[in-house]
Every structure is written in C-alpha cells, then in structure tokens.
Copies of this chain bind each other. A is one copy, B any other.
Amino acid sequence: MSDTEQNRPNTQEKKRLALQAALGCFTQHGLAGTTIDMIREASGMSVGSLYHHFGNKEKIAAALYIQGLRNFGSLVKCYLSELPPHDKTAESGVKALVYANVDWISTEPDWARFVFHHRSLLSQDLLPKEKKEDKVQRELKGFSFDLVQWFTPHIVSGNLKTMPYELFSSAISGPTHDYARHWLAGRYNEPLLTYREEFADMAWQSVKGKKQS
C-alpha cells in the first residue's frame, strides 16, 4: 500500500473502478463469500496491484465503506444547502435529512446494503493507526459537526425538542434505516421510496419542539 502519495493521473480512477468491481462481488456473494480472485477477475487487475493499492481484503471493504459514507455525506450537505433561503426552517432541515437518506439508498441500493451490513468495518482496525485513522475520524466528526451547527439555532429557538444529539440522530434516521435494511435484504417488497413522505413526517413528529402544534 502506498496511499500516502499517488502521483499517477489515472490511478485514483483505477482504484475507483476496482472498488466498483469489488462491490459487485460483495453484493453477489457476500463479504466472506468473495475471494480476492473474484475481485481480480472482475476488476481486471492483478493480485499484486490489488494488494499494492489496498493492502488486504478487509481494507478493500473498508475503502468501499468509507467512500460510501462520503458519497452519502455529500448528498446530505447538498440537500441542506439547496434549501431556498426563505425555507431554512427546522422542519425543512429535518425532512431534507430524511430525503437524503431515502434518495441515496434508493439510488445506490448495492452500496447502501454494503454499508448497512458492514458498519463493523469502521470500528475495527481498518487503517494503519496513526494519521489516517485520525483523518477519517476527523472527517466524520467534521460532518456531524456541520449538522450540529445547522440545527443548533433551531433547538435554541424551541422549534426542535431539546435532546442529546445522539437521540436526535437516531430519531431521524432510525425508522428509515430500519425499513431500508429489510427492503435491501428482500424481506420487504414495497420500495423504500414509496414511504418517503411518511418517514419524513415521522421524523419531524418525533423531534419537533413544543412551539408548533
């Protein structure tokens, strides 16, 4: 592995394609069920290259996981920042979060399935300790920091119920994610998208402050 400095122009692109291929394998055979050889074949790279770029099988999965999170995170930011200036209300913000969730999961079901089923990849030792772990951690912290920043004024003003940030987060994304998990696993037939509004309402109902009805 040599992520510290990739200089060659299309190396990032190749890594991206390799990850895409890996995602296909994982989707089809599960994490345990896919072999390096499958990924090698699907990606057209050699074993050596895969190991050069990612280090080992688990880190391929971890890279995929992180890229998924990033991808999702940028959609969230996008949805929040695209709210028209006159509509930056607590309700719109909360619903934007739900929409971002529903839409990302609906657009990238394979990626979402992978991310949902392998949360453990983050907590474990995916990265070479030291700097990089901090880097990703910091990125994630920064992400939730932005969210806190966005919503804090609405808590202060009483438009949102006062509760720990963790509860807030679980209230908003919990129901959507629960449904998504079942749908992605094929246990529910009705697409997540069907209930986009229901989940948005649900989220809003459970966090809105006492100021409004």
Contacts and interface: CB of A to CB of B under 8 A. Distances in A.
Given A30-B120, A205-B205, A205-B206, A178 B173 contact: yes
Contacts of A119: 117, 181, 185
**Residue among A185, A202, A206 with most chain B CB within 10 A:** A202
Question: How many identical chains are in the complex?
Answer: 2
B190 A166 contact: yes
Chain A interface size, under 10 / 10 to 19 / 20 to 34 / 35 or more:
35 or more
A176 interface: yes
Contacts of A164: 190
A32 B30 contact: no
A166 B124 CA distance: 32
A198 interface: yes
Interface string A33-76: 00000000000000000000000001000000000000000000
Interface of A: 30-32, 58, 117-120, 122-124, 163-164, 166-167, 169-171, 173-179, 181-182, 185-188, 190, 195, 198, 202, 205-206
A6 to B, nearest CB: 27
Give me the 4 closest cross-chain CB pairs, A-B, nearest first. A174-B174, A174-B175, A174-B178, A170-B178
Chain A interface mostly helix, strand, loop or mixed?
helix
Nearest to A121: B30
Contacts of A32: 31-32, 58
Nearest to A164: B190
A186 B117 contact: no
Nearest to A113: B120
**Residue among A30, A174, A176, A198 with most chain B CB within 10 A:** A174
Given A170-B178, A178-B173, A120 B117 contact: yes
Given A117-B120, A178-B177, A205-B205, A167 B195 contact: yes
Given A123-B185, A123-B187, A182-B166, A171 B202 contact: yes
A53 B157 CA distance: 61
